[in-house]
């Protein structure tokens, strides 16, 4: 008889979390596990917001964005006495394994929980920032990129109609992956990200040359981590002489129905997470690297820094100079 298995989502929400929840529940049941759902993330572990899974709870959720299990920020989880409450809640329900769908902060929290009480966990990377070390892909990224693409394509219509410049600020915390990929996919003229040095003088000379040659509008994509959205908009107005507007896409990037790619990635990550726990893995993170699915121990993920593919940076470098 297997220990019970509980599934939670933690940290910032992303499209793909719901498909991962459903697939993990379905596959774990096939393997003979009694599954539970934890609502409200880490806080739900502390407050015993844990319920046995029913078919109704995971029916009709695969197409929904966000997370039906909800999430939370929970600094109390870093208190050992609070974590002990969480352990007692799980122990009382016969739950001996956890799957957490979230980011590296959530993985670290569950690793501390494992070190304290020996409850094994498997992590599924889910964040639109795509900034988790060891994996090329996190759930929600493709959906977020498609949201950004739709927004930039719509803004381009207005830019061309009024011969204006538009600066579009996208999310990503300190990682420029979303901005970089979106700028390339949408044919932006300028892209500023933390990972690339940029030179406004050379950008300005390039844009002035293009305008003199007939360019009627400019699209610039900026990562929020550069904190350059407002400045670049004013700079284009003042230095280039083209009327400019700033659009901050914000949390719209986190929502939306998951794309086919995110749904399939969710399925493969969920199956891998259940298999990892079934094989006796205690603190592993599911990864996708160089076209191959695998897993890494938490320390290899938490102790490393995510780096964007150098080939992608090389492609985007001309947009920053």
The string over 20-54, giving b where at least 16 C-beta atoms fall within 10 Å of a residue's C-beta and e elsewhere, is: bbbbbbbbbbeeebbbbbbbbbbbbbbbebbeebe
> Among candidates 257, 190, 266, which has minimal Cα distance to 222?
190
Residue 312 within a domain? no
Residues 101 and 36 in one domain: yes
Residues 100 and 29 in one domain: yes
Residues 111 and 123 in one domain: yes
Residues 34 and 13 in one domain: yes
pLDDT in tens, 138-197: 999 999 999 999 999 999 999 999 999 999 999 999 999 999 999 999 999 999 999 999
Residues 172 and 130 in one domain: no
Contact (Cβ atoms closer than 8 angstroms) between residue 170 and residue 182:
yes
Residues 13 and 133 in one domain: yes
Residue 314 within a domain? no
Residue 122 within a domain? yes
Q: What is the pTM of this model?
A: 0.95
Element (H, E) at 125: strand 121-125
pLDDT in tens, 255-275: 999 999 999 999 999 999 999
pLDDT for 233 equals: 98
Structural tokens at position 55: 């078919």
Residue 319 within a domain? no
The CATH number assigned to the domain holding 128 equals: 3.40.50.450
Residues 135 and 172 in one domain: no
Residues 154 and 215 in one domain: yes
Radius of gyration of the chain (CA): 22
pLDDT for 296 equals: 96
pLDDT for 2 equals: 75
Residues 115 and 153 in one domain: no
* Average pLDDT along the chain: 96
Q: Could you say which of 215, 230, 254 is where a domain stops?
A: 254
Structural tokens at position 71: 């999430």
The CATH number assigned to the domain holding 206 equals: 3.40.50.460
Residue 11 within a domain? yes
The domain containing residue 225 runs over which residues?
141-254
Say which residues have a Cβ less than 8 Å from residue 120's Cβ, sequence separation at least 6: 96, 97, 98, 114, 277, 280, 281, 282, 283
pLDDT in tens, 91-145: 999 999 999 999 999 999 999 999 999 999 999 999 999 999 999 999 999 999 9
pLDDT for 1 equals: 53
Instruction: Give residue 302's pLDDT band: very low, low, confident or very high (50, 70, 90).
Output: confident
Residues 129 and 13 in one domain: yes
Residues 49 and 83 in one domain: yes
Q: How far is CA 311 from the centre of its chain?
A: 21
Say which residues have a Cβ less than 8 Å from residue 215's Cβ, sequence separation at least 6: 189, 207
Residues 245 and 286 in one domain: no
Handedness of CA 208, 209, 210, 216 (dihedral sign): positive
> Among candidates 63, 70, 25, 16, which has minimal Cα distance to 45?
70
Number of separate domains in the chain? 2
DSSP state, residue 253: G
Active site positions, annotated = 129
From residue 238, give the alpha-carbon distance in Å to each of 61, 83, 109, 232, 244: 49, 55, 47, 10, 9
Mean pLDDT of 11-18: 96
């Amino acid at each position: 008889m297997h220990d019970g298995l509980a599934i939670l989502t933690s940290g910032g929400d992303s499209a793909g979390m719901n498909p991962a929840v459903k697939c993990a529940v379905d596959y774990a049941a096939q393997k003979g596990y009694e599954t539970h759902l934890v609502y409200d993330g880490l806080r739900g572990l502390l407050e015993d917001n844990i319920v046995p899974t029913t078919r109704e709870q995971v029916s009709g959720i695969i197409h929904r964005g966000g997370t039906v299990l909800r999430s939370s920020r929970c600094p109390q989880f870093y208190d050992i006495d609070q974590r002990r409450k969480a352990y007692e809640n799980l122990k009382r329900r016969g739950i001996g394994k956890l799957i957490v769908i979230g980011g590296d902060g959530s993985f670290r929290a569950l690793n501390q929980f494992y070190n304290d009480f020996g409850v094994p966990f498997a992590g599924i990377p889910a964040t639109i920032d795509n900034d988790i070390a060891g994996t090329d892909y996190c759930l929600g990224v493709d959906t977020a990129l498609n949201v950004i693409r739709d927004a930039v394509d719509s803004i381009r219509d207005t830019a061309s109609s009024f011969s204006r410049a538009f600066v579009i600020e996208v999310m990503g915390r300190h990682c420029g992956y979303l901005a970089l990929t979106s700028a390339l996919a949408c044919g932006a003229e300028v892209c500023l990200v933390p990972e690339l040095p940029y030179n406004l003088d050379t950008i300005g000379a390039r844009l002035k040359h293009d305008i003199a040659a007939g360019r009627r509008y400019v699209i610039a994509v900026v990562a929020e981590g550069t904190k350059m959205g407002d400045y670049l908009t004013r700079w284009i107005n003042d230095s280039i002489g083209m009327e400019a507007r700033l659009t901050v896409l914000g949390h719209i990037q986190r929502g939306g129905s998951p794309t086919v790619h995110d749904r399939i990635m969710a399925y493969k990550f969920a199956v891998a997470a259940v298999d990892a726990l079934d094989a006796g893995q205690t603190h592993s993170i599911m990864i996708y690297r160089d076209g191959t699915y695998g897993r890494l121990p938490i320390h290899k993920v938490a102790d490393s820094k995510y780096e964007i593919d150098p080939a992608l940076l090389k492609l985007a470098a001309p947009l920053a100079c």
